[in-house]
Amino acid sequence: MWKYVGALIGLLVAGPFGALLGFGFGWLFQQTSLSQPGVLGPFGNLDSKRQQYFQSTFRLMGHVAKADGRISEEEFQLAEQLMQRMGLRGDHRREAIDRFKQGASADFELDAELQAFARLCGQRSSLANMLLVTLISTAFADQRIDQAEHASLSQIAASLGFSREQFEQLLGMVAAQAGFHGGQQGGSAPTRQDQLANAYAALGVEPDVDDKTLKRTYRKLISKHHPDKLIAQGVPDDMLAVATEKSQAIQSAYDLIEKHRKQRH
């Protein structure tokens, strides 16, 4: 992002040559602020945010998995599958498993973990939203969320600054988005009407939404899950699998709705 900002400023100040210089300085600033530990970039200490995001994600995954009193073999396999999808290897994978077990332990302090996350990453921020989406996606990996998981997720959402209505809407959107993978609907073949209903739910809008609001909502969701934006705000680049999947699901849902509306006219 910063390389383009630099290019724009350079263009305005010194024309095409300035744009090239601005792009170069912007790229250098971006690489420095995103890759060097402890460097303060435009969003604060990114290294600390990334570490906190990583630790909180897997600790809270363990906590949600243990919400019903025990972690089943299936739930642990789901966590390992997520680690594989994230591309975690070696020490990163071992650390993720260790954090998962910490969150599932009887002495895990949920409030303290959430306070630490909010203090460094903020409430209702893009990081908080992505964390909650990841937890919901993990809980929904077996196509259902039981009462204990729902209660745990609801408590986490409230601590992150989300209202009950916002949480329930996000829950419904994530459930609907799970059906879209590269334009294909998962599970048994649904009717076209069911596909459309699921697509609108995936975007969090009603079927009678006007075209302008639909496009604005779609662009906002795509921006919120854009990998470059999330990396710039503190999500580790090897934990972007969920964001990428959500972006693809949002794109597929929007494409389906747009195609239907064009055929209708």
| pLDDT tens-place string over residues 182-206 | 444 444 566 778 889 989 998 999 9
23 and 53 share one domain: no
CA atoms within 13 A on the CB side of 40: 1
Count of domains observed in the chain: 2
Higher pLDDT, residue 71 or 183: 71
- Going by C-alpha positions, the residue among 203, 102, 121 that lies closest to residue 159 is 121
14 and 79 share one domain: no
9 and 55 share one domain: no
13 and 112 share one domain: no
9 and 108 share one domain: no
What pLDDT is stored for residue 165 in this prediction?
Answer: 94
DSSP 136-182: HHHHGGGS---HHHHHHHHHHHHHTT--HHHHHHHHHHHHHHTTEET
73 and 122 share one domain: yes
189 and 250 share one domain: yes
Extract the tokens encoding 116: 């630490």
91 and 24 share one domain: no
26 and 140 share one domain: no
Beta pairing partners, 40: 45
What pLDDT is stored for residue 257 in this prediction?
Answer: 92
What pLDDT is stored for residue 188 in this prediction?
Answer: 55
What pLDDT is stored for residue 233 in this prediction?
Answer: 73
* C-alpha distance across the termini of the chain, in Å: 38
144 and 19 share one domain: no
Q: Where are the beta strands (DSSP E) in the chain?
A: 40-41, 44-45, 180-181, 184-185
What pLDDT is stored for residue 246 in this prediction?
Answer: 82
Q: What does the pLDDT average to over 104-127?
A: 89
Which pTM value belongs to this model? Answer: 0.69
Segments forming the whole domain that contains residue 20: 2-35
State how far the alpha carbon of 43 is from the alpha carbons of 85, 116, 130, 170, 258, in Å. 27, 17, 16, 25, 35
Place of tokens 């919901």: 136
24 and 92 share one domain: no
26 and 48 share one domain: no
